[in-house]
Each structure stands twice: as structure tokens, then as C-alpha cells.
Structure 1
Amino acid sequence: MIDLAQARRDGEWLRIPLPDPRPEGLADGTHPHDVRRRLIADGILPEKWLNRLFSVGGIRLENGVLSLKAFPPHDWTDHPLLAGRGEPARAEVLHEDDWCLVLFKPAGMPVHPAYPGMGGTLDEAAVRHVLQAGDPLPVRHIHRLDADTSGPVLYAKNDLAQLRLDEAMREKRIERRYLAIVHGAPRPRAGTIDAPIGKDRGRSPRRRVQPGGDRAVTHYETVKEAGDLALVRVRLETGRTHQIRVHFSHIGHPLLGDTLYGAPPDPRLSHQALHGESLCFPHPWTGRQIAVQAPRPRWFEAAMRRAGL
């Protein structure tokens, strides 16, 4: 049996030593086509990924070592992400290994560009990070945050990581928790908002709860109440655009500073009081759970102090 825990990165290649005696069909000199078929039959690696590796000569078996070309570099030369003007985007690294990267996205920075060549995005920061590290892998975000929401964003650093993390998102195995300051005191203090969300026609970029919208589920618990504000912890089961903002507005508790969804203006806060505090996901190679915490930004701490939270 192949022990994937023994795998080690060697430049572009992932080296996996085979046990003695060798597994049937994996002797030295076995043609890559037959190695691919054996690996597919074992079901321990995605068939789509193995077929892609085989098509580029990325499967080898020599001297008792299975080699898979898992980390090919990406050509970022002249890429639109690096064509933005002004100061290059940078972001704090919360977690990184050969397979994935978690960056802290500050409020005010979009995850991805709205048009080609747009600078100052988290995607640009991710690309610049791997280039400066001398490891130009094809970083791609797995999920997004609103431009004015702070918190952790997960990136895949190769094709296999993207396949597995995208699958984990679809299967709701990536857990995202948030802190929000809302108007009023939600009742009950803990509960679930299960209400479909769709576009608010003629009022872009607003969304609203409406029949026929996409299913959206938000779990929450009240952490503390002070005056006419409350601090709530939120866990997303789905990931619709503006989901937390729409749901809390729908139940009569818009987020502090969120004038788009009915909150009164706050002269000391120019955007919604929403911060992603943690991200938990299965590692794309080992499968073990990775938990990443994001520190509360100063603007959120200041808003909590003013509210007495």
C-alpha cells in the first residue's frame, strides 16, 4: 500500500517512496500509463488530476520512488494581476505550506480585480508573495470576502489543492466564522436564519431575501449585548453574496455601519462591522484539519470599545 504521508516535495516534483515488497503493478520500469491506471484503481488520488499529469509527462517510477509533477511553476510574466498602478498590494500570511496559503484580507481591499489590470487586490498580493518567495506557483482563491469585510482568505497553490479544496467548499467542509456588531438584540440569542437570497433588481449591488433565490443558511449566537448594539458570532453554512449582511437586515438587525442594508450612518465607521475571525479546512494532501485564526483589526476593536462590547 502506498503511504502518502511519506511524500516529500522536490522542486516541481512530489516524491513518494514505495514500500518493499513493491505494490503489484508498481515495479521499476512500469510504463507511466500503467502507473496511472493503478493509481486510479486505488482511488487515493483524483482521476482528473492523474490524467492531467500523465498528459504532460508528470508521472514517473524510478528506483522505488513514485514521482508526480505536482508543483509546476506558473508563468506570471505580463499577467494582468501584476499590471496595476501604484503601491503593490501586500497582505499578512496567516498560514502557508507547499499546498495552500491563507492571507489576511484587510477591509477595503477586494479579493479579485473588477477589471483587467486593477491593482490593490488580495489576488495580486498572493501572486507577489509567491514570486518574492521564488516559488511562482499558480495561486487561486477558494472563497471570497466582501471588499469591506476583513478576515482570512484561502488560496490553493497547485491543481490538486484546488480540486480538493473546491470539493471541500461544495461539500461544506470548510468552516468560516465571523464576528459582527449588529443593531438591536437578536431574539432568540442563538439561532439559524434559513432564507433564500437573490439579486435586488434595479438596486445593484444589493441582494435581498426573496422566494426563488439561492438557499442561504446562517447560524449565529449572541456574544454580548450593550445598549442598542450586540456582538454576534456567525457561522456560514452557505456562501451567498452579502449573506450575513442580508440575513441580519432581514431579521431587523442590520450590521453597524452597513448603510446599504438599512443601518444609519456611523461617522466613525465607513463600512459594515464584519470581520472573519477563523477558517477551518481539510488539508488538500494530508486531510487533517487546519484551523486559522485572524486577529481582530484595530477598527473593529475600536468599534467594540465605543459600543461597550
Structure 2
Amino acid sequence: MKWTYTIQTEGLTVEQLLRDEWRLSKKQVHELRMAKGILDADETPIRWNEPLAAGTPVVIQLADTVSPHVPEPNPDVSIVFEDDHLLIACKPKGMPTHPNDPGQSGTLLNGVLGYVHAHGGTYAEHVHRLDQGTSGLVLFAKHPVVKNALDRMLEDRQITREYLAEVEGNIQKNGGTITAPIGRDRHHPTRRHISPSGQPAITHYSVTARRKGTTELRLTLDTGRTHQIRVHLASIGHPITGDELYGGAADSAGTYKLHAFRMTFIHPFTGKKLTAQN
């Protein structure tokens, strides 16, 4: 694929653009250099250490990358936002985010790949994941360069994800922050628990509604630990409704009530604020 990027900062070099602005890996920068993948407006290779004027168009040319996963048409997968570089899809409850074994199908990634293939593409990769029982928005990269850039943004907490949950009981405070490290539970293959030796984890919540026997919350995360929201809410005595793994009573629908409803970040290539909601 090929696209044009306009230099935003006076005197920026191609090397600085890739290494400092987009924060690509050393391997990816090296591959782009060897492939002469950065061109000027006439599609002539640019000198990587030459300062460029703000407003200079730079053409990025990438070889097509083929995903190793199985593309699969899936009408249950809806696309909330898409451009040439990334897309945001909504995952239904009960669907895994990605395959865990070669050839596995029926996941959100398989459905997104089916959509991408139907529109002439060959690659899609998830930037983060949701638990199988959690519904909502998942961000996908449509080529390896944006995947690398989005991975760095996620590490630096530049991608804000907001969740809605219904929990058991009446939370007295209107809002708060749960700060408790999370580690593996050695007595269970998938469960996590609060552990002094676990990874730091921070969850912010605010009450949006109170109902008979339950409280509805809006949540944001400073970290992205496995099962973080579920573990943190259970740790304060208010497990998510239906989340039997963490002490919640069984829900009539057999699912727990957690939904990733909004995502906000600055697009790494356009510089524009992007907000998706479902």
C-alpha cells in the first residue's frame, strides 16, 4: 500500500519521523530504509537525514502484508470506524477477540479479516483485546507500520477506553479509584486476583445510575491488566452482574454486564482526534 504524509514540524528528518514521531521499532525502520520505502512527491527516495520543511509531502510505500489468520465472513461483526490505516470493530459478547491456535475461526479477528479481504485488503491485527464475555470496541491496525505506532500509543496510555458496567449492590460513593496490583491465581487456570506481588493496576469509576440491588458504572483504566475491571470491582465487594468467575450471581442470560463503549485517541498519521462510540 502507499499513502502520503505531510511533514508537520519544520526541519524534521525522515529518520526522526519514523523513530521519534511514530516510534517505530528498529527492525521496521531498517526494513523501510532497505526497501527505499520513503519517497518524495515525485516518488524518488528521500535522504533520511535531510531536514524537511513543514508542509513537505512524504510518500510511504509498503509491501502488502498477508495475515496468517483465516478470513471469515461474519455478520455479527460491525465496523464502527475505518480509514486506510486502522479500523474499530464492535465485538459481541461471547466471541473471542483473536485465535489462540493456528486455523482457529469464529473470533472477532477472523470476522474483521473477512471484511478486510472483501474490500481488497490482506492484513488486520488487533491492538488490544477484550475478554470473551465483554462486548464493545476493539482497535485494529490495517498495516504493520500503524500497528507499531498504535502499540506504542497504547503503552504510553494515549488511547483512552471507556467502559460501562452493572455491578451487584449499592456503591456508596459517587466515584473513586481502585489501586491494587493484580496477579495470577495459582489455584485457577484463568482467574486473576489482588496480589502484593502482582502488576500495578489502576481503575477509575463513577456512578451513572442506581437501581434496586445494582449500580451502573462508567469506568476508565490507567493500566490494562487481564480481567482488571472484573478483579477490581470484585475486590471492593461489588462484582459485575453475572460474572460468576469473580463471585457474581449467575445472570439469566448467562453473561456478565461489561461493555467497552467509547475509545478516544489522536490518529498517528492525521494528527486529528478520533472518538468512536457504540
TM-score, normalised by the number of residues in structure 2: 0.85
Written as runs of structure 1 = structure 2, the 5 A alignment for 1:223-242 is 223-242=208-227
Closer, same or farther: CA 73–63 of 1 in aligned 2, 3 Å: closer
Larger radius of gyration: 1
Is 2:149 the counterpart of 1:164? yes
Is 2:271 the counterpart of 1:287? yes
Aligned residues: 259
C-alpha RMSD over aligned residues: 2.4
Written as runs of structure 1 = structure 2, the 5 A alignment for 1:133-282 is 133-136=119-122, 138-266=123-251, 268-282=252-266
Are the equivalent residues in 2 in contact too, given 1:92–1:103 (CA < 8 A)?
yes
- Tell me which of 61, 66, 79 is aligned to 1:69: 61
State the match for 1:56 in structure 2: 35
Hey, what's the Cα distance between the residues in 1 that align with 2:22 and 2:168? 48
Is 2:87 the counterpart of 1:101? yes
Are the equivalent residues in 1 in contact too, given 2:22–2:149 (CA < 8 A)?
no
Counterpart secondary structure, 1:81: coil
| More helix, by proportion | 1
Gaps of 5+ in 2: 44-56
Deviation of 1:51 (Å)? 2.8
Hey, what's the Cα distance between the residues in 2 that align with 1:270 and 1:290? 34
1:37-67 deviations in whole A, cap 9, x for unaligned? 9421565554644432121232334638643
Amino acid corresponding to residue 15 of structure 2 in structure 1: I
Closer, same or farther: CA 61–151 of 1 in aligned 2, 3 Å: same
Hey, what's the Cα distance between the residues in 2 that align with 1:229 and 1:44? 45
Amino acid corresponding to residue 89 of structure 2 in structure 1: L
Is 2:105 the counterpart of 1:119? yes
1:235-264 deviations in whole A, cap 9, x for unaligned? 111111111111111000011101111112
Deviation of 1:223 (Å)? 0.8
Deviation of 1:80 (Å)? 4.2
Hey, what's the Cα distance between the residues in 1 that align with 2:223 and 2:202? 6
Hey, what's the Cα distance between the residues in 1 that align with 2:149 and 2:60? 16
Are the equivalent residues in 2 in contact too, given 1:14–1:67 (CA < 8 A)?
yes
Closer, same or farther: CA 206–14 of 1 in aligned 2, 3 Å: same
Deviation of 1:265 (Å)? 1.7
Amino acid corresponding to residue 126 of structure 2 in structure 1: H
TM-score, normalised by the number of residues in structure 1: 0.77
Hey, what's the Cα distance between the residues in 2 that align with 1:276 and 1:62? 41
Hey, what's the Cα distance between the residues in 1 that align with 2:168 and 2:262? 23
Hey, what's the Cα distance between the residues in 2 that align with 1:17 and 1:280? 23
Are the equivalent residues in 2 in contact too, given 1:99–1:284 (CA < 8 A)?
no
Counterpart secondary structure, 2:269: coil
Closer, same or farther: CA 16–112 of 1 in aligned 2, 3 Å: closer
Counterpart secondary structure, 1:14: strand
State the match for 1:91 in structure 2: 77
1:107-155 deviations in whole A, cap 9, x for unaligned? 011001122111110111121111100122x211111100011000001
Overall identity of the aligned pairs, in %: 35
